[in-house]
Amino acid sequence: MATVARGFSALRVYLEMIKFEHSIFALPFAMIGMMWGSLSVRHTAWPGWWDFAWIVVAMVSCRSAAMAYNRIADRDIDSQNPRTKSRALPAGLLRLSQATFFFFVSCAVFFLAAGMLNRLTLELSPLALGVTLFYSVTKRFTPLCHFILGLSLGIAPSAAWIGSTGRLDWAIVPVTFAVLCWTAGFDIIYALQDVAFDKEHHLRSLPETIGVPRALLVSRICHLLAVALLVLAGRMVGAGPIFYGGVVFAAGLLAYEQSLVKPTDLSKVNLAFFTLNGFVSMAVFVFALIDLIK
């Protein structure tokens, strides 16, 4: 039986539980929303340290709450899956009470951060948190769960836009849907690992429902749509050629990601999911940043 982590030594276990390093997936797109929003009202991409700091806190705390809730909701399922039984709760590294406490603290920090930004951010914060939490139960009844996850990450750029402006504008909406499609595409790939387990335990996913070849086709369509939506977003905010260079670079990474995974060969799923998607989001952000400061 594993020893329950306590005190400061539990920090590493908490960070592993929420996969803190995966914050890089949505946070760069949130920064794009923040920069473009600030530019629209201040004529400068930098909103100031106050807004920047609280936007980062809001993004990280919302995601932490969602991941903690996911681990709590899925603890019995995770304990039966060979791929996930080593996670903190099924492995006994954390007590349920510890994870629950972490969840409520993350929620409180998120609402605090939203309130520190502006009134609209605070008013919409329950909706944003609700969507991110809802994903955890969708795999129990719909194969479209990947798109709910996509929406939960896609909220980030629009939320950051609101955080830096106090209002929502149509210009940022294509980025939200681009992130939705991008996330759904790579989550479908990730779900390929659990097709047999999902069928046995009556869990839903596109690979489980329509089969691996068709699910991969949907994933590829999602990534094509994500690229198209990023181009549309750039046109709506008047982005320069450097931003579009970043979109082309990201498109190349997504094409490479898709080439790694085949219906008969899933050995490179982790490379496709973890490594390349971090590069995709960072690439779009870096090119967007350079485009703004050139």
5 within a domain of the structure (yes/no): no
Apex CA 160: angle with CA 156 and CA 164, to 5°? Answer: 175
* Residues 182/162, Cβ–Cβ less than 8 Å: no
DSSP of the chain: -PPPP-GGGGHHHHHHHTTGGGGGTTHHHHHHHHHHHHHHHHSSS---HHHHHHHHHHHHHHHHHHHHHHHHHTHHHHHH-TTTTTSTTTTTSS-HHHHHHHHHHHHHHHHHHHHHH-HHHHHHHHHHHHHHHHHHHHTTT-TTHHHHHHHHHHHHHHHHHHHHHSS--GGGHHHHHHHHHHHHHHHHHHHGGGHHHHHHTT---HHHHH-HHHHHHHHHHHHHHHHHHHHHHHHHHT--HHHHHHHHHHHHHHHHHHHH-BTTB-TTHHIIIIIHHHHHHHHHHHHHHHHHH-
* Residues 229/183, Cβ–Cβ less than 8 Å: no
Output the tens digit of pLDDT for each of the chain's 294 residues: 456 656 555 666 666 666 655 667 789 999 999 999 999 999 999 999 999 999 999 999 999 999 999 999 999 999 999 988 988 888 888 899 999 999 999 999 999 999 999 999 999 999 999 999 999 999 999 999 999 999 999 999 999 999 999 999 999 999 999 999 999 999 999 999 999 999 999 999 999 999 999 999 999 999 999 999 999 999 999 999 999 999 999 999 999 999 988 888 877 887 776 778 889 999 999 999 999 997
Q: What is the pLDDT of residue 1?
A: 46
Q: What is the pLDDT of residue 275?
A: 76
* Residues 171/37, Cβ–Cβ less than 8 Å: no
Distances (CA, A) of 257 to 52, 151, 218, 280: 31, 21, 14, 10
2 within a domain of the structure (yes/no): no
Q: What is the pLDDT of residue 25?
A: 77
Distances (CA, A) of 207 to 2, 39, 171, 202: 34, 41, 33, 13
Residue 261: both structure tokens together:
């995974």
6 within a domain of the structure (yes/no): no
Contacts of 234 (CB under 8 A, 6+ apart): 243, 244, 247
Q: What is the pLDDT of residue 22?
A: 60
271 within a domain of the structure (yes/no): yes
Q: What is the pLDDT of residue 232?
A: 98
Q: What is the pLDDT of residue 14?
A: 66
Number of domains in the chain: 1
**Residue 211 belongs to domain spanning:** 11-293
* Residues 159/58, Cβ–Cβ less than 8 Å: yes
277 within a domain of the structure (yes/no): yes
Residue 179: both structure tokens together:
């992130």
CATH number of the domain that 272 lies in?
1.10.357.140
Q: What is the pLDDT of residue 91?
A: 86
161 within a domain of the structure (yes/no): yes
185 within a domain of the structure (yes/no): yes
